[in-house]
């Protein structure tokens, strides 16, 4: 899954306790997050992934047939098929297979296939900049991360480098004219680590829609323009759809340049715009619904007259006389019905025959097979009976209306199904609609001043572009404010209703609404790198996934049709033999009928009424709705399996710092135990902590800075930043031999003397005595849920700093809510026992595990899992990632680090603990609904099939006509969708 930085780090959010003063490289807003995050992902370099729209799937048996057909192709390593999205994602080796092979495999399986443009292809970086992703082996701690990052950033031509420990990956933006990929790999290996290139943005693919592309002449003009353009590796022009698929090298030409050149070289005759794959998918859904509606209308137009001729016209004497008139050996009424039904059977119903033939050819069965069997049996019998009556004079009953009405009702059910499926993906559609279609690009004059603005397609924004956002307009891309002040409504992305103040240097999220002032923002992330794109990708991936409970439905769907056909044959044979042997009175058989027809009608009803679609739709429909509802409430689910596990959670483990607490540590007081001046003491401590990234270190540094310079800084925020940089270079003391000690603190040399800043363990391990006065003060702090940071200089304890991290306002309510749900809350922290107990008592948690090192959190989880309990972990820091991965259900706070978010199963976007309850409640309600869906689906077939087979006929005299059975079948699959609402 992609790394997802949903909000900027506030106060660090490191997630460590007081004694976890490990220097860690918290991945900030520039983390590598362009990694593809959907479907089966390529596990090795060289693998390729494509998305294919699959038309014609109706149930789980269809998806299984597609998966089997594609998996059998040489070179295919992974397949995921979504019934509701009518989409397949395939991972394959391009050296062994081609895209055309995958399409051919699906079509051979009996379905229509269409390659979709890759929605996760990132936008190009600025010209002369490439992005490469490298796998880095041998890293064991945050110090290794810092070492690799430091080496990469010092390389000439490297513009940005971010390394993640948990995934052993690094992303590097570099200038290929200065440094090559091989040189980057060599630099990492020279540092003592293993390195290999995974992927690079050397090429990009885009689908352009073209206005003005109507004739062959237009196509020739476009071909000439594209052939002359440098940087284009290949292109394909589709005149029918007015589209052009282009593969280009972003090192040579940018996407915006391609669009501009097409318009300029054609003198405005052709205008190109980037096709949004999601909008195109919605358009295809609408086309499918329109096509199904057209078939339904045609079938209704032809079937209603047949139904009236059978049920109504015989009761109207004049019309009855007309219908009984002869046209050769046939009655006019019978001949009309034959003609009309033949058009329905083989014209409108052609799609069922084609799909059934392809399925049977590959040894699979689906709903289309049942429809074809039922309608063909009725049609063939009726034709034979009609011909028999024409040449013998004895007219047995004919049932043309049965096949016509069955097809009509099945099409009606399919149409409702298409509409219902479309509504399940509303969450993605709403997210896509958040992105504005256009953006105002600010253009510079020769002097470098912004002199003009130009409206461009939002998909053409490039990193580094400065964009103008008017009040009431949506922010077109993730970026940083470079001019102006305003308030931005981020509720559509984060769920937080309160407007957020934005000023220079503030980070903004694409798709959010600017409320008041004009803002100039510099785009930092575009395309698939934006927060919104990653949320969409997460939701889409979750909707593509299968929950384990669906294995049952897939198994049943695989054997359903053969069982139904067998039951149909048994029904026919049983009724026919009983009739032949006189086991039931002749009065049961209509005067104009016979034993064969009587038995055949029961048999056809059994085939037609059975419906595997309801079982196939029960789980994916519920999962899609749940992930959509979750996304709307700020809870992102990474898959159906995670959604299923959360319903059985017995323990919820909370990290303390940044999870139960706000993660914004502040200094409350200081205590000096030597004759040193307070200002000198703070200068000494600040100098030692200046090299640490821990949130407690940052808090101490800020406190010391404001102590020395409060009231001496300018009012402008920009001036403050510049002044701070000047002051830091002059104020802080020179540090030597700095090292961060995980779980203990930091140590270094200042003025040739050793200084220690950390917890009690760090001080005692270095043989320094803690005076009784200091111990008493420290215990008092810990009993009041505060953290004491001890400072020793030149082998003597010189002072103590009191720090606190306030609880989140909702923490107590959430803990109480979990208890009411029957869930046992546990707090695991690296902090000392007294502080941990004080915090736990305040929040209402009885089970506390304190002084746990980062690696020990996963051990705590495994100890709780020994009896089979399902354990959830809620955390936000890098040191939480092993525990999040070890837990059955990992929940990452949205403001946490990328590594924590990557390791988790749920992402709580709003940084609100109440969403822990939302996530678990969503899982419980979803799978309760799934079980009800299964119950209704199974109950329908268990009750309906015996009724259709005539089980009640001997007692009630009620017989279900095949056309009525078709109506019941049509509504059964749709009932799951509506029940799911």
User: Which CATH number goes with the domain that contains 754?
Assistant: 3.40.1110.10
Rounded mean pLDDT, 317-328: 75
Query: Cα separation of 635 and 619, whole Å?
Result: 19
DSSP result, 704-717: HHHHHHTT-S-SSH
Pair (148, 73) in one structural domain: no
Alpha carbons 219 and 235: distance in angstroms, whole number = 12
Sheet holding 271-274, edge to edge: 232-238, 243-248, 204-211, 271-274
Q: How far is CA 971 from CA 35, 354, 610, 802, in A?
A: 42, 23, 11, 68
CATH assignment of the domain containing 176:
3.30.70.100
Residue 575 lies in a domain: no
Residues 401 and 300 in one domain: yes
User: Do 98 and 148 belong together in one domain?
Assistant: no
Whether residue 864 lies inside any domain: the answer is no
pLDDT confidence of residue 825:
92
Of the candidates 409, 576, 380, 565, which has an alpha carbon nearest to the alpha carbon of residue 961?
409
For residue 795, the model assigns a pLDDT of 87
The torsion defined by the Cα of 548, 554, 559 and 565, in degrees rounded to 10, comes to 140
Q: What confidence tier does 748 reach under pLDDT thresholds 50, 70, 90?
A: very high
CB atoms within 10 A of CB 650: 16
Query: Quick one: pLDDT at residue 371?
Result: 78
Residues 701 and 778 grouped into a single domain? yes
Do 500 and 407 belong together in one domain?
Answer: no
The pLDDT of residue 757: 92
- The burial of 632, by beta-carbon neighbours within 10 Å (0-12 exposed, 13-18 middle, 19 or more buried), is given as middle
Q: Report the first-to-last Cα separation within the chain, whole angstroms.
A: 29
Residue 386 CA to residue 687 CA, distance in Å, equals 101
Question: What pLDDT, in 10s, does the model give residues 453-480?
Answer: 888 878 788 888 889 998 888 888 888 9
Residues whose CB is less than 8 angstroms from the CB of residue 780 and which lie 6 or more positions away in sequence, other chains included: none
Same domain? 512 vs 376: no
Is there a single domain that holds both residue 307 and residue 346?
yes
Distance set, CA 581 to CA 130, 603, 628, 955, 956 (Å): 83, 19, 59, 20, 22
Q: Domain for residue 919, yes or no?
A: no
User: CA separation (Å) from 16 to 9, 70, 745, 840?
Assistant: 14, 47, 11, 16
DSSP state string for 544-562 = HS--TTHHHHHHHHHHHHH
pLDDT-wise least confident of 415-429, 620-634, 770-784, 943-957: 415-429
Same-domain status, 135 and 71: no
pLDDT at 337: 85
- Read off the pLDDT band of 47 (50, 70, 90): confident
The tens digit of pLDDT for each residue in 598-653 reads 888 888 888 777 766 656 566 666 776 777 777 777 787 776 777 888 888 899 99
Neighbours of 612 (CB within 10 A): 29
289/153 same-domain check = no
Q: Token pair for residue 428?
A: 């993605």
Residues 906 and 892: beta-carbon distance below 8 Å: yes
**Is 477 inside a domain boundary?**
yes
Decide if pLDDT at 774 tops 80: yes
As a whole number of angstroms, the distance between CA 227 and CA 222 comes to 8
Cα-Cα-Cα-Cα torsion 884, 886, 889, 894, nearest 10 degrees, comes to: 10
Neighbours of 963 (CB within 10 A): 24
Q: What is the pLDDT of residue 651?
A: 92
Q: Which of 757, 774, 804 is the last residue of a domain?
A: 804
Contacts of residue 254, defined as CB under 8 A and 6 or more positions apart, other chains included, come to: 124, 126, 127, 462
Above 90 in pLDDT, residue 791?
yes
Measured CA to CA, the distance from residue 832 to residue 783 in angstroms comes to: 10
Average pLDDT, the chain: 75
Instruction: Give percent of the chain with pLDDT exceeding 70.
Output: 74
970: pLDDT strictly greater than 70: no
With a cut of 60, say whether residue 977 has pLDDT above it: no
Residues 497 and 468 in one domain: yes
3-state secondary structure of 195: strand
Is 312 inside a domain boundary?
yes
Of the residues 198, 225, 241, which one is the last residue of a structural domain? 198
Q: Between these two residues, 162 and 688, which has the higher pLDDT value?
A: 688
How does pLDDT run across 287-300, given as a tens digit for each residue?
777 888 888 899 88
Task: For residue 491, give the CATH number of its domain.
Answer: 2.70.150.10
Residue at 301 is within a domain: yes
H or E element in which residue 486 lies: strand 486-489
pLDDT band at residue 2 under the 50/70/90 scheme = very low
Question: Does the pLDDT value for residue 504 go beyond 90?
Answer: no
* Total structural domains within the chain: 5
748, 773, 804 - which closes a domain: 804
Q: Quick one: average pLDDT of 141-165?
A: 71
Residue 503 inside a domain? The answer is yes
Percentage of residues in the chain with pLDDT exceeding 90? 3
Residue 374 lies in a domain: yes
Q: In this predicted structure, what is the pLDDT of residue 792?
A: 93
For 12-21, 390-399, 416-425, 618-627, which range has the lowest pLDDT when averaged over its residues? 12-21
pLDDT of residue 855: 66
Range of the domain at 83: 48-119
Q: Regarding predicted confidence, which is higher, 716 or 22?
A: 716
Are both 293 and 373 inside the same structural domain?
Answer: yes
pLDDT of residue 899: 52
* Domain match, 508 and 380 both: no
Question: What is the C-alpha separation between 597 and 961, in angstroms, rounded?
Answer: 12
pLDDT tens sequence across 940-965:
778 888 988 888 888 887 777 776 77
pLDDT band at 824 (very low <50, low <70, confident <90, very high): very high
């Amino acid at each position: 899954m992609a790394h997802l930085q949903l909000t900027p780090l506030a106060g660090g959010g490191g997630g460590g306790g007081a004694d976890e003063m490990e220097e860690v490289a918290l991945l900030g807003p520039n983390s590598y997050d362009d990694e593809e995050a959907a479907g089966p992902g390529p596990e090795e370099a060289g693998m390729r992934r494509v998305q294919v729209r699959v038309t014609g799937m109706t149930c789980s048996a269809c998806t299984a047939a597609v998966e089997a057909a594609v998996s059998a192709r040489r070179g295919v390593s992974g397949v995921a098929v979504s019934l509701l999205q009518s989409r397949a994602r395939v991972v394959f080796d391009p050296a062994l297979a081609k895209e055309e092979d995958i399409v051919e495999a699906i079509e051979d399986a009996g379905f229509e296939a269409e390659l979709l443009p890759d929605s996760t292809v990132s936008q190009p970086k600025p010209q002369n900049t490439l992005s490469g992703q490298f796998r880095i082996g041998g890293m064991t701690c945050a110090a290794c991360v810092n070492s690799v990052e430091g080496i990469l950033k010092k390389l000439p031509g490297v513009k940005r480098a971010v390394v993640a420990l948990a995934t052993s990956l690094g992303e590097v933006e570099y200038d290929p004219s200065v440094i090559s990929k091989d040189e980057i790999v060599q630099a990492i290996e020279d540092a003592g680590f293993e390195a290999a290139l995974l992927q690079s943005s050397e090429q990009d693919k885009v689908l352009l829609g073209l206005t003005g592309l109507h004739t062959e002449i237009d196509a020739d003009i476009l071909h000439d323009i594209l052939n002359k353009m440098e940087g284009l590796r290949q292109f394909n022009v589709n005149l029918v759809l007015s589209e052009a698929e282009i593969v280009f090298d972003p090192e040579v030409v940018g996407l915006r340049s391609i669009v501009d050149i097409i318009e300029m070289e054609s003198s405005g005759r052709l205008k190109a715009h980037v096709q949004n794959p999601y909008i195109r998918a919605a358009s295809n859904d609408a086309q499918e619904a329109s096509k199904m509606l057209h078939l339904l209308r045609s079938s209704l137009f032809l079937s209603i007259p047949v139904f009236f001729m059978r049920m109504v016209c015989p009761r109207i004497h004049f019309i009855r006389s007309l219908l009984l008139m002869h046209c050769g050996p046939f009655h006019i009424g019978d001949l009309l019905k034959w003609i009309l039904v033949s058009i329905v059977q083989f014209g409108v119903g052609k799609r069922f025959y084609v799909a059934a033939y392809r399925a049977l050819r590959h040894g699979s069965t689906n709903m289309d097979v049942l429809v074809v069997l039922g309608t063909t049996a009725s049609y063939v019998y009726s034709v034979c009976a009609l011909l028999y009556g024409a040449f013998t004079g004895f007219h047995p009953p004919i049932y043309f209306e049965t096949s016509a009405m069955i097809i009509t009702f099945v099409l009606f059910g399919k149409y409702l199904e298409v509409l219902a499926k479309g509504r399940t993906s509303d969450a993605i559609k709403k997210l896509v609609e958040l992105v504005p279609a256009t953006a105002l690009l600010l253009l510079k004059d020769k002097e470098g001043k912004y002199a003009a603005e130009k409206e461009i397609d939002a998909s053409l924004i490039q990193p580094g572009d400065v964009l103008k956002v008017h009040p009431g307009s949506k922010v077109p891309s993730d970026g940083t404010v470079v001019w102006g002040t305003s308030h931005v409504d981020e509720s559509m992305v984060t769920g937080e209703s309160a407007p957020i103040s934005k000023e220079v240097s503030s980070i903004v999220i694409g798709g959010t609404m600017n409320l008041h002032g004009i803002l100039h923002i510099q785009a930092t992330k575009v395309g698939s790198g934006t927060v919104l794109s990653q949320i969409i990708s997460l939701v889409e991936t979750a909707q593509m996934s299968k929950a384990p409970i669906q294995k049952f439905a897939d198994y049943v769907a695989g054997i359903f049709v053969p069982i139904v056909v067998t039951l149909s044959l048994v029904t026919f044979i049983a009724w026919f033999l009983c009739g032949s042997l006189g086991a039931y009175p002749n009065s049961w058989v209509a005067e104009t009928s016979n034993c064969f027809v009587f038995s055949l009608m029961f048999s056809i009803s059994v085939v037609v009424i059975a419906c595997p679609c309801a079982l196939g739709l029960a789980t994916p429909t519920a999962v899609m709705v749940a992930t959509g509802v979750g996304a709307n409430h700020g809870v992102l689910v990474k898959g159906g399996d995670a959604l299923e596990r959360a319903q059985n959670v017995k323990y919820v483990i909370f990290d303390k710092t940044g999870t139960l607490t706000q993660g914004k540590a502040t200094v409350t007081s200081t205590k000096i135990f030597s004759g040193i001046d307070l200002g000198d003491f703070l200068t000494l401590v600040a100098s030692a902590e200046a090299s640490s990234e821990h949130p407690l270190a940052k808090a101490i540094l800020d406190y010391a800075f404001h102590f020395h310079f409060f009231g001496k800084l300018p009012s402008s925020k920009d001036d403050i930043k510049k002044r701070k940089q000047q002051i830091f270079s002059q104020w802080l003391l020179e540090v030597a031999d700095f090292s961060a000690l995980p779980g203990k603190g930091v140590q270094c040399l200042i003025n040739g003397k050793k200084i220690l800043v950390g917890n009690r363990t760090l001080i005692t391990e270095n043989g320094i005595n803690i005076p009784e006065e200091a111990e008493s003060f420290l215990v008092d702090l810990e009993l009041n849920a505060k953290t004491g940071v001890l400072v020793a200089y030149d082998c003597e304890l010189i002072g103590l700093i009191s720090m606190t991290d306030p609880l989140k306002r909702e923490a107590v309510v959430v803990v109480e809510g979990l208890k009411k749900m029957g869930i046992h809350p546990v707090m695991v922290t690296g902090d000392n026992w007294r502080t941990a107990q004080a915090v736990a008592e305040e929040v209402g948690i009885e089970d506390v595990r304190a002084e746990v090192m980062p690696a020990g959190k996963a051990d705590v989880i495994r100890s709780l899992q020994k009896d089979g309990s399902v354990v959830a972990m809620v955390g936000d820091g890098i040191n939480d990632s092993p525990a999040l991965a070890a837990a059955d259900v990992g929940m990452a706070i949205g403001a946490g680090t990328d590594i924590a978010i990557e390791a988790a199963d749920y992402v709580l976007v709003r940084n609100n603990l109440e969403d822990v309850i939302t996530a678990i409640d969503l899982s419980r309600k979803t799978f309760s609904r799934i079980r009800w869906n299964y119950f209704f689906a199974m109950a329908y077939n268990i009750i309906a099939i015996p009724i259709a087979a005539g089980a009640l006929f001997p007692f009630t005299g009620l017989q279900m006509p095949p056309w009525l059975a078709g109506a019941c079948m049509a509504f059964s699959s749709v009932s799951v969708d509506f029940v799911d609402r």
